Structure 1
Amino acid sequence: MTYIANIEHPVQLGAMIAIYFFYTGLSAGAFVLSSLGTVFGIKKYKSIGKVGVVMAVALLAIAPLHLIGDLEQPQRFYTLFFRLNPHSAISYGTFLLTLYPLNSVVYLWFMMRRDFAKGAESLTGFRQRFYQFLTFGKTDLSEQALANDDQWIKRLGTIGVPLALLVHGYTGFILANIQARALWHTGLMPLIFLMSAMVSGTGLLILVLIITQRFFSPEKILTPERKALILDIAQLMKWFIVVDATLMVIDFIALYYTNAAGYAAAKVFLYGSHKTMFLGVEIGLGLLLPFMITVISKTKKSLGWISLGSIFTLLGVIAMRVNFVIGGQQIPLSTDTLNPYTVAPQHLLMIGIFALAEIFILYLAFRLLPIYGLPKNSTP
C-alpha cells in the first residue's frame, strides 16, 4: 500500500537572512580590496586601504542585527557562544562574526594611529580631543614606531583576509550542506557567494570613493589621480563579474543535467516564475549591463556610467541573495506548487531602519576619522 502525504515546507530563511548575506558579502569584498595595498603590496591601491576597512567594519556592525531581528527570541542570541557544535557552520559563524570585526577594528587603528597622533598635536577643539583619546597614549612618531605600525598592519591584514572570506564563505556552506534543496546542494555555492561578494563589494567601494572624496577629503574634489584609480577599480569589478558569471553558468549547467530535482530547480529559474528576477535582474541588470559599461570605450572612462554600473551590481547581488535564499526554499519538495512567501512588514521596517543606520555610521566615520588624512589647516 502506498501513502502520499502532502507535507508543506514553508520558507524559513526569509528576507532578513538574504539581506544579512548581502551585508556580509559587501564587508568581505571591501576588506579584500583594502588589503591589495597593505597586504599584497600593490602600491596604487594603498590609498583605498582605510576606506575599505572602514566600510568592512561599518557593514559588520549592522549585518548581525538582521540575524538577531529574524529570531523569534532575539534576546537569546548570546547562547550561541556557549553551545559550540563542531558539525555546524552556523556555530563557527558565530565566532567568525566576532573575531573578524575585532581584528578589523585593531587593523584600522594601526592604519590611523599616525594621523591620530599628528592630529592630537596640530588640531584644535573637539577633533583634537577626540584624536588624543583615540591614540590611547601611543603618540610616538619615530621611524621605529611607524615601522612597527606597518608590521602590525601587515600582520592583521594577513589575518583579516581569510577571516573576511570565511565570514561570507560560511554562508555558502550553510546552504550547500542542505541536501534536500537541489539549488543549494553544490560545492560551488560558497564560491558563488564569495565572487558575488567581490562584485558588490567593489561596486559599493566605487560609489563610496566617489561620494566621500568629493565631500569628505581635505581637497573635496576628485583629483585626476583619484579618478584614474576609481576607473582602475572598475576594471577589477569587470573581471569579478566575469568569474561570477562563469561560476553561475557552470552551476546551472550541472544543476540542469544532474538529476530530476536539479532539473526542476533550474527550470523554475530559467523558464518558470523566477526567470524575470533571475535572468532579468540578477543576470541582465546585475552582471551583463555593468560588464558592458566597463568594456565599452566611452562608458568605461565615465564616472557617471561607472557609478550607474556599480548601482546595478548592488541591485543584482541583492536579487541573487533573494533568488538563492528565498527562491531556493520556494521550490517544492513534495508538491507541484511553489511554496508561498511574503515579507513580514516588521522585517521590511527593520531592513529600512538598519540601512539608514548603516548610512549614518558611514557618514560619522568619514566625517570624524582621518580616512583621507588630516584637514588642510593642520600642520604636518
Structure 2
Amino acid sequence: MEIQLLYNVFHHESVSMLIAIYFHIVGLHAGCSIVSITATLIGKKEYKPVAKIGAIFVIILFSISPIFLLTDLFQPLRFWYLFIHFNPTSPLSWGTFILCAYPVFTGIYIYFLFKGNVRWSKIFGVISLPTAIGVHGYTGFVLGFAKARVLWNTAVMPSYFLASAMISGMAFMLIVALIRYRFTYQDKPLEDREKDLEIIDLLSKWLAGFMILNVFYVFSDLTVMYYHTEDAFETVELVRLGKFSFLYIWVDNVFGNIVPALIIVFKKTRRSHLLLLIAAILASIGVFIMRYVMVFGGQYVPLS
C-alpha cells in the first residue's frame, strides 16, 4: 500500500538546551546557597568552612547563570519587559523579581559571613533563604504550570527541582571538600583534619538523604501518571521504555541517585574518599541528565 504524505507538522522545541544548562547552574548555586545558610544558622564552629565554601561558589555560579538565560531570549535587551509587565499568576514574573532580590540579600549575607559577624550573617541568612529556595523553585513552577506538557504538569515538579538542586549543590561542595582535603591534609594538625573529615561526612549524609527523597519523588510522579490519562501513560512509557529511558532510568536515577546513595549509606564505602568522589560526580551527572530529560522529554510528545 502506497502512503502519500500530504503535510508534515514540525513541532518546534520552545525550550532549548540553554535553558537546561541554566536550570542546572541555578540549581547548583541555589543548592550551595541553601547549604551555606543552613550551616550558618546551625551555628556550629566546625560548619563554618561549609558555609564559606558554599558562599564562594554561589558568587561564581550566579555570575555565570544569567548568560544562558539571556542568550536564550534571542533579543536579550528586552528582558526588562518582565519588570514592567508584571503578571501575578505567572511564575516567570515572580521569578524575575526573586532573581533580583536573591543576589542582594545573599550578597549581604556573604559579606557578613566573611566579616565574621555571626549575628548579622544569621539575620540575612534567614532573609535570603526564601529567595534561595525561590530562585530555583520558580523554575519548577514554570514547567509545572505548562498544562499541555504532561511530563511537566505535575504538583511534584517544584519540589523535585528543589531536591535536585540540593543534590547538585551538595555534590559540588562535596567534590570541592574532598579535593581540598586531599591537597591540604598533610599540612594540617590532626584536629583540623578531623574537622575536615566531619564536614565531608556531613555533606555526604545530607547528599544521600536528598537522593533518597529524589527517588521517592520520581517513583511517586511516574506511578501516578502511569494510572492517569492516556497522554500521561504515553509520557511514562517514553521515560520508562522509550527514547529517554536509558538517560532517565539508568543514568539519572540508578547511577545518579541509587548507586551514590548506597555508597554513602554504608559506612565501609563512605570511608573511601575515592568512592565518595565517584558518588558525588555520579550525582552531579544525574542531576544534569534529569534537567535534560525534563526539558526535552517534556517536549517530545507532540501537542497535535
Task: State the distance in 2 between where 1:44 and 1:223 align.
Answer: 11
Q: Is the 8 A contact 2:50 2:199 kept in 1?
A: no
Q: Is the 8 A contact 2:31 2:168 kept in 1?
A: yes
Correspondences of 1:217-296 after superposition (within 5 Å): 219=187, 223-296=193-266
Aligned to 2:66: 64
| Secondary structure class of the residue paired with 2:227 | helix
Aligned to 2:171: 203
Higher-RCO chain (CA-CA 8 Å, sequence separation at least 6): 1
Is 1:185–2:153 an aligned residue pair?
yes
User: Shift of residue 227 of structure 1?
Assistant: 1.7
The amino acid that maps onto 2:250 is G
- When residues 332 and 190 of structure 1 are mapped into structure 2, their CA distance, relative to the original with a 3 A threshold, is same
Task: State the distance in 2 between where 1:302 and 1:60 align.
Answer: 32
Task: State the distance in 2 between where 1:218 and 1:175 align.
Answer: 48
CA offsets, 1:169-205, max 9 Å, x none?
0000000101001111111100000001111111001
CA offsets, 1:101-139, max 9 Å, x none?
12111111111125xxxxxxxxxxxxxxxxxxxxxxxxx
Aligned to 2:77: 75
Is 1:105–2:112 an aligned residue pair?
no
> What is the aligned-residue identity percentage?
34
Correspondences of 1:1-380 after superposition (within 5 Å): 7-114=9-116, 149-213=117-181, 219=187, 223-334=193-304
Aligned to 2:3: none
Q: State TM-score, norm by structure 2.
A: 0.91
The amino acid that maps onto 1:105 is G
| Secondary structure class of the residue paired with 2:80 | helix
Q: Is the 8 A contact 2:137 2:159 kept in 1?
A: yes
More moved, 221-230 vs 243-252 = 221-230
CA offsets, 1:195-230, max 9 Å, x none?
011111110011122234555899579823202320
Task: State the distance in 2 between where 1:297 and 1:151 align.
Answer: 36
- When residues 89 and 218 of structure 1 are mapped into structure 2, their CA distance, relative to the original with a 3 A threshold, is farther
| Secondary structure class of the residue paired with 1:298 | helix
Q: Is the 8 A contact 1:36 1:46 kept in 2?
A: no
Task: State the distance in 1 between where 2:7 and 2:22 align.
Answer: 34
| Secondary structure class of the residue paired with 1:62 | helix
Question: How many residue pairs end up in the alignment?
Answer: 297
Q: Is the 8 A contact 2:185 2:193 kept in 1?
A: no
User: Shift of residue 29 of structure 1?
Assistant: 1.1
User: Shift of residue 65 of structure 1?
Assistant: 1.0
The amino acid that maps onto 2:195 is E
Q: CA RMSD in A?
A: 2.2
If each structure's helix is expressed as a fraction of its own residues, which one has the higher value? 2
More moved, 24-33 vs 205-214 = 205-214
- When residues 69 and 212 of structure 1 are mapped into structure 2, their CA distance, relative to the original with a 3 A threshold, is farther
Task: State the distance in 2 between where 1:236 and 1:37 align.
Answer: 12
Q: Is the 8 A contact 1:188 1:247 kept in 2?
A: yes
User: Shift of residue 35 of structure 1?
Assistant: 1.9
Q: Is the 8 A contact 1:231 1:303 kept in 2?
A: no
Task: State the distance in 2 between where 1:42 and 1:251 align.
Answer: 37
- When residues 153 and 216 of structure 1 are mapped into structure 2, their CA distance, relative to the original with a 3 A threshold, is farther
| Secondary structure class of the residue paired with 2:42 | coil
Aligned to 1:365: none
Unaligned 5+ residue runs, structure 1? 115-148, 335-380
Task: State the distance in 1 between where 2:264 and 2:185 align.
Answer: 26
Task: State the distance in 1 between where 2:7 and 2:237 align.
Answer: 24
The amino acid that maps onto 2:83 is F
Q: Is the 8 A contact 1:278 1:320 kept in 2?
A: yes
User: Shift of residue 73 of structure 1?
Assistant: 1.2
- When residues 227 and 216 of structure 1 are mapped into structure 2, their CA distance, relative to the original with a 3 A threshold, is closer
Task: State the distance in 2 between where 1:72 and 1:220 align.
Answer: 51
User: Shift of residue 9 of structure 1?
Assistant: 2.9
User: Which of the two has higher C-alpha Rg?
Assistant: 1
Q: Is the 8 A contact 2:46 2:195 kept in 1?
A: no
| Secondary structure class of the residue paired with 2:114 | helix
The amino acid that maps onto 1:15 is M
Task: State the distance in 2 between where 1:19 and 1:44 align.
Answer: 33
